[in-house]
Structure 1
Amino acid sequence: MTYTIARRFAFGSILLALSACGGGGPQQGGGGGGMGAMPPPLVVAMTVRTQEVPNIVELPGRIQAVRTAEVRARADGIVERRLYQEGTDVTAGQPMFRIDPRDLSQQVEQGRAALARAEAARANAASVVRRYTPLVNERAVSAQEFDQAQATLRQETANVADARAALARSRLQLSYTIVRAPISGRAGRAQVTEGALVSASQATLLATIEQPSPIYAVFTQSNAAILDMRQAGSAPAAKALSQVEVRLLLANGREYGPVGKLDFADQVVDPQTGSQVIRAVFPNAERLLLPGQFIRGRIAMGTSPNGILLPARAVQIGERGASVSVVAKDGSVTTRGVQLGGQTGSNWLIKSGLKAGERIITDGWQKVQPGQKVQIQGDPAPAGQQPQPKQGN
């Protein structure tokens, strides 16, 4: 029994000695008790400042030709030959297709014959009237016969006019066998080949011509956003649309060189989507922009005199929209929703939700919970948070 009591006393003495040698490391965090409180996370923050920033609005859009013409058949028949090179430029009036003209040529000949018959009948009726004119005064011909002769002359004159119009129409139909380009532009792929039967009544599509330069970029945006664009900062009024510059980002991420101008804003809002169409015109001498191509437009709608720019890495975008982490004076963090404007480089333009002088976490917000206190890099550590030097054994 005496040996057991002595062994327990020796073990307790060893534990007391270890405690005196500084083995209580968990006490360093400034808290009380065995496991001390963790120090606040270290983050990087910036102070919000207002400045004059360009009001850039980025919208998705699509390229559209300024003029598009569908080349369609206006005569019935078989396509004999394609007269243009697919994918090349054509000029207005240039022949593009030839349709078999033989049937329509015969109709022209019939029209000529009908006109000749009508002219012969009119000449005969005119000679009758000339013969009856002196005889009616001598009462050798009754007035009724003379009136009938004059009516016949008028009828034959009308027949001549009708035959002449029919002949002109036949000639016009014959001219449609040579299908010509209605506008100048780039002719696309032929929709029919030699030997195809085309119809005037069905207006068979033969090809499409699109004017490649200048060219349109068409954007669709909500009406509310367009109103914000026009009212933001020093944005120009509707009558000054031609002064608004637009730059394009191509599908490969590169910027299109020439700068365009807005030239049209639709005066009708789609009642189903609430969207409105705006359009810009661009030079396209190198034919880099093609109709149907998807692009993104960066529209410079003036400047915002009291704009706020934040690095994109400081903005948290989720299901409920955009938000930032704001550091209060006591070092606690709150999450606040903000309304984003356009993006300028790697920065977001903040339309509302922040004011000058507030501090925003730019790096490290991922490891902070709302209500938690943080230590900002570069700031002196709060009292009681300085690490305690370790003591030797």
Structure 2
Amino acid sequence: MKGFKVLKLLKRLLAVAIVCAIGGGVFYVTTLPAVQEKMSGARRMGGGISAVPVLAASARLDNVPVYLHGVGTAKARNSVVVRPQVDGRILSINFKEGQEVRKGDVLAKIDPATYQAQLDQAIAKKALDEVQLENAKRDLERYSQLGGNVVAQKTIDTQNALVAQFTAQLKQDDAAIANARAYLDYTTIISPIDGRTGIRMVDQGNLVRAADAGIVMITEVRPISVLFTLPQQQLAQVNKALASRVLSVDALDSNNQVVLDHGTLQVIDNQVDSATGTIRMKAEFPNANLQLWPGQFVNVRILIDTLERVVVVPTPAVQRGPNGTFVYVVEADEKVALKPVALTMQNESEAVIATGVAAGDRIVTTGFARLKDGARVDVSAPETPGSPAPVSAKPETKTDPRNVVATACAADVQKLCPGVERQGIRGCLRANAGQLSDTCKAAALAAGRSQRKADNTVLQ
């Protein structure tokens, strides 16, 4: 019992030590003036002017696709429930569940004995009637040769009728044979389409009837269709684009991140759903990799246009104010200019600028909290992804743990302490220590260890 209490006490002490280490690192970061200035967006420059640290990207010329987005459901191009057409006992099941089958493949066999006997009976009946017809024809020929002086005309007429009767009987026999042969063929159940089998509904040895639910469902999944809807207001755009070309359609996963397949628009419904104000459309996809499955919900985007050589900036760069949309352009003197802009279109990642910005302009993308027209800025990140990071004018800041932590925690300040003045950042971060990102926590812990090591060196 005593050992258990000691172990419990040690666990509590360890938890307290971890929290204190993180809290101490954050306290260290937020109490140093240099770091406070970095986190709040200011670094002292020549002349005593405060520079706001920002991220920037260059506006560029690009070709931008224009999509309409909808939500749809994958649907098998063809779906067939395979049912027996005759009654009988199943002798064999010739497919596996989930198997790919081709049109004409044998799926199951029903005991054919009864239907083979019926066919043999029909064939024998025809043979009997053929013999009777031949005999009737010979009698008719004999009566005709004797003439009316020996054989009464009535007898000749009766014999003619008998020949016609047996001739008709042979046609009836042919129909009976065809019917019996069809029933015999039905004992071999074949696939009516190419597709994939589902879970079978009956097992070998069972007695089945033509009225039963079926043996298995086959769905054609390559190619596959997707039914989706668009708002009725977008119908004119689709029709206009469809008049000049086949429209490409992409099927995406539930997060709109992964393209599952590429297809084409096939059908636009002939009426709008007045209850929802939407119109249904159907697209077809090759589905070569079976990424789409019947009944699956997917996001759909349809390409209706491509804007060629337009000015593009990151969406976060576009700000909105009382007078409309605007961006901050970084000038050559490292000051920003507020530029009103007109947007052609905008999505989650990019905005197309119609007027107000030229290709090559440096546009602020992050760090708007203290930004205003004419403010001096410090662009502290690469302007384009993949470019090397700018070299600091002060070499010591590259290894100074305070600057490392300030950079690591900058996003946390913007997220957790928006609008907080510099002197309040310390308290804000300490109050939200449990919500700090792993990057910020790790940098704070490293800075705390570095400071304690420096203090120990001084004391020694």
TM-score (norm 1): 0.63
Task: Report the counterpart of residue 120 of structure 2 in structure 1.
Answer: 109
Q: Which residue identity does 2:159 align to in structure 1? A: A
Partner residue of 1:214 out of 209, 223, 235: 223
Q: Which residue identity does 1:214 align to in structure 2? A: P
CA distance in structure 1 between the aligned counterparts of 2:260 and 2:349, rounded to whole angstroms: 21
SS in 2 for 1:165: helix
Task: Report the counterpart of residue 104 of structure 2 in structure 1.
Answer: 93
Confirm or deny that 1:75 pairs with 2:121: no
Q: 1:342 to 1:294 in 2, by over 3 A?
A: farther
Q: Does the 8 A contact of 1:57 with 1:341 survive in 2?
A: no
Confirm or deny that 1:150 pairs with 2:145: no
Identical-pair percentage? 30
SS in 2 for 1:67: strand
CA distance in structure 2 between the aligned counterparts of 1:343 and 1:218, rounded to whole angstroms: 26
Q: Which moved more, 1:174-183 or 1:106-115?
A: 106-115
Q: Does the 8 A contact of 2:260 with 2:291 survive in 1?
A: no
Count of aligned pairs between the two proteins:
299
CA distance in structure 2 between the aligned counterparts of 1:271 and 1:260, rounded to whole angstroms: 28
Q: Which moved more, 1:179-188 or 1:279-288?
A: 279-288
Report the alpha carbon displacement of residue 247 of structure 1 after superposing the two structures with TM: 1.9
Task: Report the counterpart of residue 344 of structure 1 in structure 2.
Answer: 347
Task: Report the counterpart of residue 119 of structure 1 in structure 2.
Answer: 130
CA distance in structure 1 between the aligned counterparts of 2:311 and 2:228, rounded to whole angstroms: 26
CA distance in structure 2 between the aligned counterparts of 1:111 and 1:363, rounded to whole angstroms: 89
Task: Report the counterpart of residue 134 of structure 1 in structure 2.
Answer: 145
Matches within 5 A, 1:5-20: none
Q: Which residue identity does 2:95 align to in structure 1? A: Y
Report the alpha carbon displacement of residue 341 of structure 1 after superposing the two structures with TM: 10
Task: Report the counterpart of residue 397 of structure 2 in structure 1.
Answer: none
CA distance in structure 1 between the aligned counterparts of 2:184 and 2:345, rounded to whole angstroms: 59
CA distance in structure 2 between the aligned counterparts of 1:149 and 1:299, rounded to whole angstroms: 78
Partner residue of 1:179 out of 186, 189, 196: 189
Q: Which residue identity does 2:279 align to in structure 1? A: Q
Matches within 5 A, 1:253-332: 253-256=256-259, 258-270=261-273, 273-303=276-306, 326-328=321-323
Where do 5+ consecutive residues of structure 2 fail to align?
A: 1-61, 325-342, 357-364, 376-460
CA distance in structure 2 between the aligned counterparts of 1:301 and 1:227, rounded to whole angstroms: 11
Q: Which residue identity does 2:74 align to in structure 1? A: I
SS in 1 for 2:125: helix
Listed one character per residue, the Cα deviations across residues 21-70 of structure 1 (whole Å, up to 9, x for unaligned) are xxxxxxxxxxxxxxxxxxxxxxxxxxxxxx98532111111222233333
Report the alpha carbon displacement of residue 271 of structure 1 after superposing the two structures with TM: 5.3
C-alpha RMSD of the superposition: 4.0
Task: Report the counterpart of residue 14 of structure 1 in structure 2.
Answer: none
Task: Report the counterpart of residue 238 of structure 1 in structure 2.
Answer: 243
Listed one character per residue, the Cα deviations across residues 112-143 of structure 1 (whole Å, up to 9, x for unaligned) are 232233223322322221221112x3421122
Listed one character per residue, the Cα deviations across residues 290-312 of structure 1 (whole Å, up to 9, x for unaligned) are 12211111211104689999977
Q: Does the 8 A contact of 1:56 with 1:342 survive in 2?
A: no
Report the alpha carbon displacement of residue 313 of structure 1 after superposing the two structures with TM: 7.0
Q: 1:342 to 1:189 in 2, by over 3 A?
A: farther
Task: Report the counterpart of residue 196 of structure 1 in structure 2.
Answer: 206
SS in 1 for 2:104: coil
Confirm or deny that 1:66 pairs with 2:61: no
Where do 5+ consecutive residues of structure 1 fail to align?
A: 1-50, 316-323, 330-339, 368-374, 381-393
SS in 2 for 1:259: strand
SS in 2 for 1:260: strand
